[in-house]
Amino acid sequence: MTSKIKPAKGAAYARIMGVGGYRPTRVVPNEEILKHIDSSDEWIRSRSGIATRHWAGPDETVAAMSVEAAGKAIADAGITPEQVGAVVVSTVSHFKQTPAIATEIAHKIGAGKPAAFDISAGCAGFGYGLTLAKGMITDGSAEYVLVIGVERLSDLTDLEDRATAFLFGDGAGAVVVGPGKEPAIGPTVWGSEGDKAETIKQTFGWDVYRRTPVPGGDGPDARVALDEIRYPAITQEGQAVFRWAVFEMAKVAQQALDAAGVSPEDLDVFIPHQANMRIIDSMVKTLKLPESVTVARDVETTGNTSAASIPLAMERLLATGQAKSGDTALVIGFGAGLVYAATVVTLP
C-alpha cells in the first residue's frame, strides 16, 4: 500500500546558532551556607569544587530569567523573535502544573504563536531539548527552535541538609537551533535507569498539602498538621550518584563520540553537566582527553543549576574566549531519573 503522506521537507542538518545566559545578581559564598550546616569552606570545595553560587531574588522568576537568556541567544543567532517556531523549556522548578511556562516565555519574547512546551528531564534536560529541536529542524516543523534550561533550585534546597545545601544554584541558559549546511549536532546517546530513581528525588510530592490538617496519629495513614510539613526539597544519595556518574557516564560520553565519528583528539571543548568538580575531573581522566581540550568548570562559581548548567557553561566559555565559534564540543548531562543525554556539537 502506498502512503498518501507527503515526506517531510526540513533542513538536511541542524546547528546551534546562538547562545545566551542569565545568572541572578545575588552571589552566595560558601560562608553563607555554613550558617546552616556543620561543615567548612575547605570541605565544600574539596567535595564539590564549589566556591559560590547565584540565588534568584523575588523578581528573578523562572520566566524572567528565561526571557533574559532567550533574548541574548536570539540576538546572538541573528534572528528575530518572530522567527522562532518552537520554544522548549527544561525545568523542574516551575511550580505550576499547567500551563507550561514555555507559553509565557514565548509571549514575553514576542515570538508570535510558536509551539511551546516544557520537559522534565532533570540535569539532562538541555540534551533532551536539543535533540527534540534537531528533530524539528530536520523534519521541517520549525525553522528555528529556542531551547531553554532554567532553574530556581534555591526554592528546592534544604539549607539544613549537609549533603546538598551547598550544591544548587539558579540561572537560565538558552540556545537557538536552526538549519545547517553540514552536520553540527551529532547523534544523541540518551536513556534512563529508573531502578536508580530514588538516588535523586524530591523529598515528597505537592499532593501532601491536600491532606486534612489533623495533628497527631500513628501509622502510615496518619495525617499531620500542615505547619509540621517542611517544604519539599531535592535530596540525593551522594556516594551512589557519584559512582554512577563517574563510571557509567564516561561510557555514555564515549558512545556519543563514537556515534559522531569523533575521537578525543578531535575535540576542542568538553562541556559536562556542572554537578561536581570531582566528577568532571574523573570523566576527563577516564576519557583520556588531551590537555588541549578546554574543559568547562563553571560549577566553581555557578554551582549545580541542573538543566541550565550546560548552556550557561557554554555561554561563559565563548564569552571569555576559552572556546570559539566552530569548535567541536562534547556535551553530556545526567541526573535525576536517573537520566542522561550526550552528543557532539559545533559551537555557535
Question: Read out DSSP for 231-254?
Answer: PP-EEE-HHHHHHHHHHHHHHHHH
Enumerate residue ranges in the chain where pLDDT < 50: 220-221
Contact at 8 Å (CB) between 134 and 12?
A: no
pLDDT at 2: 85
Instruction: Identify the pLDDT of residue 180.
Output: 97
C-alpha cell at 1: 500500500
Distance from C-alpha of 66 to C-alpha of 20, rounded to nearest angstrom: 10
- Find out whether the peptide bond into 330 is cis, omega within 30 degrees of 0: no
Q: Could you please state the CATH topology (level 3) that the domain comprising 186-197+234-347 is classified under.
A: Peroxisomal Thiolase; Chain A, domain 1 (3.40.47)
Catalytic residue among 30, 54, 94, 123: 123
Q: Enumerate residues 6+ apart whose C-beta is below 8 A from 221.
A: none
Annotated catalytic residue: which of 30, 54, 273, 276?
273
Distance CA 227, CA 212 (A): 12
Distance CA 243, CA 257 (A): 21
H helical segments located in 146-288:
238-260, 277-287
30 is catalytic: no
Tell me what pLDDT residue 211 has: 62
Grid cell of 47 as nine digits: 567535595
Nearest Cα neighbor of 205 from 77, 97, 72, 284 is 97
- Cα distances (Å, whole numbers) of residue 67 to 61, 64, 193, 200, 256: 10, 5, 33, 28, 31
Residue whose cell numbers read 557509567:
248
Position 228 scores a pLDDT of 52
The pLDDT, as a whole number, for residue 212 is 53
Nearest to 253 by CA among 124, 154, 75: 124
The answer to whether 246 and 176 are in contact (CB under 8 A) is no
CA end-to-end span of the chain, whole Å? 44
**With contact defined as beta carbons under 8 Å apart, do 91 and 125 qualify?**
yes
Q: Answer yes or no: are the C-beta atoms of 191 and 32 closer than 8 Å.
A: no
Three-state SS at 18: strand
Decide whether 13-182 matches 186-197+234-347 in CATH topology.
Answer: yes
Angle between helices 238-260 and 277-287 (to 10 degrees): 40
304: annotated active-site residue? yes
* Set of cell numbers at residue 262: 569523533
Q: How far is CA 70 from CA 19, 172, 273, 302, in A?
A: 8, 9, 20, 19
pLDDT (0 to 100) of residue 207: 79
Q: Please name the fold of domain 13-182.
A: Peroxisomal Thiolase; Chain A, domain 1 (3.40.47)
Q: Which residue has the cell 523575588?
A: 58
Q: What gap in Å lies between CA 93 and CA 122, rounded to an integer?
A: 10
Confirm whether 123 is a catalytic residue. yes
Domain boundaries, the chain: 13-182, 186-197+234-347
Q: What sections of the chain are H helices per DSSP?
A: 30-33, 41-48, 62-77, 101-108, 125-139, 238-260, 277-287, 299-302, 309-319
